[in-house]
Structure 1
């Protein structure tokens, strides 16, 4: 039976100092002074128009991503979080993460963001090697990355993450291991460690760099995993490693097919509608100019009483699209998210998040089991070691 899952909030701040050549996110280079106050006003107006999606829930987690959210000053982040809380109550132990880049975050401001309500930082280090940072278009150096992690600890965040890539242009095995060694020496409770991929619509796609060959990539991945495990970092998701108790709750809610509101330029959301026994995906207007123009329309409508919180999402000025997940696609949509996690999959969770009987997956799961990709019992499905390596092969069993 379909049940309301926990509710998270994703907030997108789209500006960066400059666009990195590997980045395919909705980000825009900074040109002149950022419209911080106007954009925070727009974010809160956007959230007000999504209030029907809350359905009586409190916020479980918040993630402020980008772009580079640390380009906004702490006072605006505090105003944003206070405005969000005025609309939707927070759970007592809410996790509030903000992304930050060492080259844009004034280190004296770490404590200010903490005081503003941020409980967790995610710091975009990517590498500790000068030549690799230059190739990736990063504006910080290796020393700034080290200092950023040290300052995060001193500012008394409940947790912080270091974001680290491997398989970088011309990266050797020893260079990749040195990045891991440097990262863990800074004692982050959480580490995101993932392979650089070349995405469409990026500079690297039009001018591909020389990447390590498949044999070197496999050696880096295999030895890196062993090293992190030996140092006490548990792999709980395909590219996420954490000390016990420090998993990112926001990302866990994504991968467990929980609900999340998305506000800001191009932000995506996924919402369960109990009145309609359906699940929808939402996307907001992508470009900052269009998004801010929509905010002016929404705020003007509110002032003239043409809209109210109870009817806001019925005339949503920020929505680019609202799309239902079709019943026949629900199982695959769930698995595309849930298979990222290393933990067993409860069959009851599948039923609660999709509204479908777990038996609807029987044929596909039987195929995957026959290929040694999963095991199962009456209550759970569990990926095998081979299954974790070939997730796409599992998903393909549900496309026939």
Structure 2
């Protein structure tokens, strides 16, 4: 349901608008994975690349009032499997975007890629378009685990993909890896992690498999490791990455020095992002204090239908929801954020958090640091419990 956005909430003014990013959703995959709850759809024999790029640029044109004179600090192609699109299509899209919104001089442009879609020439061409970071969806290197996850690649292809990325000129790439896989042991989980580290990524996304509603795994649950094994995997994996120079800076994100994902940092620091593409979400701030959540129509056939609007809805965030919205993102960061960022991003006085902060500090979930908002290690483990203190 669309809610009115014509009037700003009373009393809120943003002195400076947050940094602006752009998220682009490519909704097609070769095959839908049984654990996936993202807006992805099995691709047919041909993809409507040209038509979809036209729609993305038309969608962006309608979002231009939200730019408010800012440049784009980062772009993220997510999916689905964006690497199904040709470099020519993505290059045309990037040129069209830059004609409308200036790019920051050090813009980070990330493309999600599946090892089963890697081709050396194709990825060299991606690099030539200006894409300068890859996020490669490995998930596991073990044949049995990949088969259970429904992945279209094998372990050897995952290893080759990292080599191809580097050969194509990508000196900054992430490997996406899951743990807590069906019947996975501690040794198997650490074997995957060691293999990933050996490939020399600058960034690792390492997270536990969860069963999400509206997925095959939700309706037909696989046998997952027991809680004691999951805890052992988590502790040993974090220790291994720290030993190898990967600093944990967010719940499931680990990076070499100066290689944290800037696009995701903007999300967690409650920055702004325009979302274009089928099912894309956005968060947009305006000088008069309005902060909007937006979302686009999900089905590709509807998104490509000129008779239907791109935007499916929007919600104006009321002031009493802003503390939770802000901290739901900021407290995922292991070092949290500067306390003053709360006022900069929401327009609300920091004093509004005082009572909830004291209560969370007394429970040992929030660090006692007046100049920062940061969870304790215990608070990171029980983040949902910590956030309850900031619900209206």
Q: Give the TM-score normalised by structure 2.
A: 0.95
Task: Report the counterpart of residue 162 of structure 1 in structure 2.
Answer: 175
Residue from 328, 340, 345 that aligns with 2:332:
340
* In structure 2, C-alpha distance between the alignment counterparts of 1:127 and 1:288, rounded to whole Å: 29
SS in 1 for 2:293: strand
C-alpha distance after superposition, 1:35-94 (max 9, x if no partner): 000000000000001000000000000000000000001100100100110110000010
CA RMSD of aligned residues (A): 1.1
Q: Which moved more, 1:57-66 or 1:342-351?
A: 342-351
Task: Report the counterpart of residue 349 of structure 2 in structure 1.
Answer: 357
SS in 2 for 1:56: coil
Residue from 44, 50, 75 that aligns with 2:88:
75
Task: Report the counterpart of residue 28 of structure 2 in structure 1.
Answer: 15
Count residues in correspondence.
379
Matched, 1:289 2:301: yes
Matched, 1:263 2:276: yes
Matched, 1:378 2:390: no
* In structure 2, C-alpha distance between the alignment counterparts of 1:378 and 1:387, rounded to whole Å: 17
* In structure 2, C-alpha distance between the alignment counterparts of 1:263 and 1:158, rounded to whole Å: 27
After superposing on structure 2, the runs of 4+ consecutive aligned residues of structure 1 that deviate more than 4 Å are none
C-alpha distance after superposition, 1:76-120 (max 9, x if no partner): 010010011011000001000000001122233111100011000
Deviation at residue 31 of structure 1 after TM alignment: 1.6
Task: Report the counterpart of residue 310 of structure 1 in structure 2.
Answer: none
Task: Report the counterpart of residue 141 of structure 2 in structure 1.
Answer: 128
8 Å CA contact retained: 1:11, 1:63: yes
* In structure 2, C-alpha distance between the alignment counterparts of 1:372 and 1:165, rounded to whole Å: 29
8 Å CA contact retained: 1:268, 1:283: yes
* In structure 2, C-alpha distance between the alignment counterparts of 1:370 and 1:182, rounded to whole Å: 41
8 Å CA contact retained: 1:71, 1:105: no
Where do residues 238-253 of structure 1 align in structure 2 (5 Å cutoff)?
238-253=251-266
Residue from 46, 53, 62 that aligns with 1:49:
62
* In structure 1, C-alpha distance between the alignment counterparts of 2:183 and 2:100, rounded to whole Å: 49
Q: Which runs of 5+ in 1 are unaligned?
A: 299-316
* In structure 2, C-alpha distance between the alignment counterparts of 1:210 and 1:288, rounded to whole Å: 33
Task: Report the counterpart of residue 237 of structure 1 in structure 2.
Answer: 250
* In structure 1, C-alpha distance between the alignment counterparts of 2:114 and 2:252, rounded to whole Å: 19
Deviation at residue 376 of structure 1 after TM alignment: 2.8
Q: Give the TM-score normalised by structure 1.
A: 0.93
* In structure 1, C-alpha distance between the alignment counterparts of 2:147 and 2:297, rounded to whole Å: 32
Task: Report the counterpart of residue 185 of structure 1 in structure 2.
Answer: 198
Task: Report the counterpart of residue 303 of structure 1 in structure 2.
Answer: none
